[in-house]
Amino acid sequence: MTIMRRNIRGLVATLWLLALSLPAGAQTTLYISDEFQAAVREEPREDSRIVTLVASGTPVEVLQKGVRGFTLVRAQGSEGWVRMEDLMHVPSGRARLAAAEKRFEDREAALKQSRQDVRQLHARVEDLQRRNSQLTRSAGALDATLNALRKRTARPRATQADNQRLERALRTERETVRALMDENDALKVQALRDWFVTGVAVTLGSVLLGVVIARIPWRRRQGWGAS
């Protein structure tokens, strides 16, 4: 027995010396996992059979409270008893952070889509402006032709028919130009409004996200009892 104890002590001393001789780079840093599962049991005691395991952040329906430190709940279609210290009134910090990140991603996607819509509106406005310029030049040419025809004192019927045709064409061109100019103004107003609303939404979303993240507790779990 004495020899065995000496051998064990020698082995322990050797392992200790080996541990001290390891270089600093051989050390490994580990972190506590944020994952947690609560056991749902058949009866309100620790040695009762486990019905199911419920992940952290899962909502449960309370059926009966406060029996020897356990609460009767319905979780994932099963009923059973859970320790009161494993229950919280609010979702876990991990779940709330995930929800906040999801809302932020949704806002970013909406902002990206809004920016794309604004770019399309600007392109549409530029196209309408080019068309307006072309139609304005066409209307000017028609006006010049019509004025030249009006200056003639004697005209045959054919010339009068051409004059009437040109007048109708001129009225049509003027109405088209007026409609396009109205559409152009409306698109400009809409683009400015969308850009302003998008900026306000992004600013409010960033502020709300900062508030949510700042209020999230970073403990692994909170030991609140359901009441």
Q: What confidence score (pLDDT) does residue 2 get?
A: 40
Q: Are 38 and 82 in contact (CB under 8 A)?
A: yes
3-class SS string, the chain: CHHHHHHHHHHHHHHHHHHHHCCHHHCCCCCCCCCCEEEEECCCCCCCCEEEEEECCCCCEEEEEEECCEEEEEECCEEEEEEHHHCCCCCCHHHHHHHHHHHHHHHHHHHHHHHHHHHHHHHHHHHHHHHHHHHHHHHHHHHHHHHHHHHCCCCCHHHHHHHHHHHHHHHHHHHHHHHHHHHHHHHHHHHHHHHHHHHHHHHHHHHHHHHHHHHCCCCCCCCCCCC
154 with 76, same domain: the answer is no
**Are residue 64 and residue 133 in the same domain, yes or no?**
no
Average pLDDT per block of 10 residues along the chain, 227 residues long: 44 47 46 64 90 84 84 88 83 69 84 86 86 85 79 63 81 84 79 75 74 62 45
pLDDT of residue 70: 92
57 and 75 both lie in a single domain: yes
pTM of the model: 0.36
Per the domain annotation, does 3 fall within a domain? no
- Same domain flag for 115 and 153: yes
Residue 205 lies in a domain: yes
* Confidence at residue 66, expressed as pLDDT on a 0 to 100 scale: 76
113/63 same-domain check: no
Structure tokens given for 125:
């406005």
49 lies in a domain? yes
Q: Tell me what pLDDT residue 92 has.
A: 64
203 and 147 belong to one structural domain: yes
140 and 204 share one domain: yes
Among the three residues 66, 86, 106, which one is the final residue of a domain in this structure?
86
- Residue 6 maps to a domain: no
Quick one: pLDDT at residue 93? 67
Q: Is 80 exposed, middle or buried (0-12, 13-18, 19+ CB in 10 A)?
A: buried
Domain-located, residue 102: yes
The answer to whether residues 186 and 119 belong to one domain is yes
Q: What angle do CA 223, 225, 227 make, to 5 degrees?
A: 155
Q: What's the pLDDT at 156? A: 61
Q: Are residues 108 and 150 in the same domain?
A: yes
Cβ–Cβ < 8 Å for 75, 37 = no
Same domain for 138 and 120: yes
Position 31 scores a pLDDT of 43
The pLDDT, as a whole number, for residue 12 is 45
The domain of 42 spans 37-86
pLDDT at 49: 93
User: Which residues make beta-bridge pairs with 74?
Assistant: 61, 79
Residue 14 resides in a domain: no
The domain boundary, picked from 61, 86, 111, lies at 86
191 closest CA partner among 133, 144, 129: 129
Q: Which two tokens stand for residue 70?
A: 């356990």
Total number of domains in the chain:
2
Does residue 1 lie within any of the structural domains? no
77 and 100 share one domain: no
Q: Would residue 151 count as lying in a domain?
A: yes
